[in-house]
Structure formats: C-alpha cells, structure tokens
Amino acid sequence: MSLQKLYDAGVHGETIRDAKATSADPQAVISLINRLLAAVAAGGETLVQKLMALLKLLHVWPTAQRVTAMPSEEETLKHLIDAGVDGELVAKSKVQPSTLLEWITGILAVVNKYGPGILAAIAELIHVFSPQTPAAAEHHQAKRRKKNQHAIRDASDESPIVISCEKPHGLETGATVLIEGVAGNLGANGTWPIKVINDTEFSLDGAFASGSYTGGGVWSEQA
C-alpha cells in the first residue's frame, strides 16, 4: 500500500511528504487504525479518545489544508478501504471518515517526529486497555473490585469468624461478601454468605478461624 492512496483519501501533502522522508510504513499505520476501530467497536471509545489526546500532546496536530479539493466523505471512505482500512470495522464502530483521516494524519505526524517505534508502543496500549482483550477485562474488573472494597478492622479467632469493619457496612443477613487480604486468620479469606450482627460487624457463615488476626484485609459485596 502506497502513501499516494492516503493522499487520495484526504491526508494532506505536508504529512505525506514528511512520511516519505522518514520512510514511514503506511501499512503499519493502517494496521494500527484497524486496531483502534476494533477497540471502539468493542466499547473502548473513551480509550481511543484519551489515546488521541495523548498523541496530540506529543506533537502539534497537523492543520495545514490541502491545496487540491478534499474528497467527499464517501470518496474518502472508499480510498481508505482501498488503502486497507477494514470497512466492516468502520461500520461497527460508526467512526466517520473525517475522524479516520484525523487519526491517520496525526499518527503519521507522530511517527515522522519520533520514528516508527512509537507504533509498537501505541499498539501495546490498545492491547492492554481495549475492552476486547483478556488483559483489559481483568484490568477493568480489578478497578471495579477496588472501588467496591471496604477496610476490615478485625477478623475474630472464633468460628464462625466475625468481621469488624472500619465503617458501617450497610449489609443485610444473607448477602454474600468476598474477603481478601486478611493476614494471620487466613480462614476468613474467600467468598461467604453473612449474618449481620450490628452496623459494623457480620459473621461469615461456614468460615472457621485458622489463627489470630494480624492485620489487613478488605471486603466487598458480591452480586
């Protein structure tokens, strides 16, 4: 795939000229664009917006206008698909051709300034944080767990284990909680149905003490 196809799609000549001078690989750029589209299609629009904002900090986004007339949106999309952009991903993500042009122009400009190695760094960010990857799913799940975690003050050495909370727990008998990070009384860790004792204490149904509590631990209510 040649840079000429990107120019035909609407990428302005200044960026194309610089890309030729730095021997930028247009196919690598298009491959990255398809990964961005896949991320948006999977629900990662916020990720892509933040990524584009970061790239804009690395380089002043090109604003020069083409001397020749810009193609229409339909013509732009046709040229981009000819250049290797995945038409199905465009349809699923609902990203407009003009936005794709902005992405391609900006990414080419950053590559022109920092070299092709930055493409790998961008691709890694997409891989880790896109909602479609297992790593990202675990990352977002961990964030949700942390948001819903509450500190434990004590885990009794009696059975069933009684958990003392630093703040009122707001739970009801029969709720299920996940206990993590308790040191000393390791028998408290795990998922348990609970019985409310008072506003700051509840017992873990089926949890047997395994030692004296030495610190740490959080609890979170499970669906």
Task: Kindly report, residue by residue over 44-103, the tens digit of the pLDDT.
Answer: 677 677 777 777 666 555 544 444 566 788 888 888 888 888 888 888 888 888 888 888
Domain boundary among 108, 141, 174: 141
Model confidence at 134, in pLDDT bands (50, 70, 90)? low
Domain boundary among 115, 141, 167: 141
Same domain for 204 and 95 = no
Task: Kindly report, residue by residue over 147-198, the tens digit of the pLDDT.
Answer: 688 999 999 999 999 999 999 999 999 999 999 999 999 999 999 999 999 9
Quote the CA–CA distance of 52 and 41 in Å, as a whole number.
16
Same domain for 82 and 26 = yes
pLDDT for 66 equals 47
pLDDT for 67 equals 44
Give the position of tokens 């730095």: 22
Quote the CA–CA distance of 220 and 93 in Å, as a whole number.
35
Same domain for 122 and 67 = yes
Same domain for 113 and 10 = yes
Model confidence at 137, in pLDDT bands (50, 70, 90)? low
Residue with the bigger pLDDT between 161 and 33: it is 161
Short-list 194, 183, 177, 176, CA closest to 154: 183
Q: What is the DSSP string of 49-98?
A: HHHHHHHHHHSPPP-PPPSSPPPPHHHHHHHHHHHT--HHHHHHHT--HH
Q: Containing domain of residue 123, as a range? A: 3-141
Task: Kindly report, residue by residue over 189-215, the tens digit of the pLDDT.
Answer: 999 999 999 999 999 999 999 999 999
Quote the CA–CA distance of 39 and 43 in Å, as a whole number.
7
Same domain for 121 and 51 = yes
> For residue 165, what is the domain's CATH number?
2.40.30.180
Same domain for 167 and 123 = no
Same domain for 99 and 207 = no
Short-list 5, 221, 28, CA closest to 108: 28
pLDDT for 15 equals 76
Q: Residue 17: pLDDT above 80?
A: no
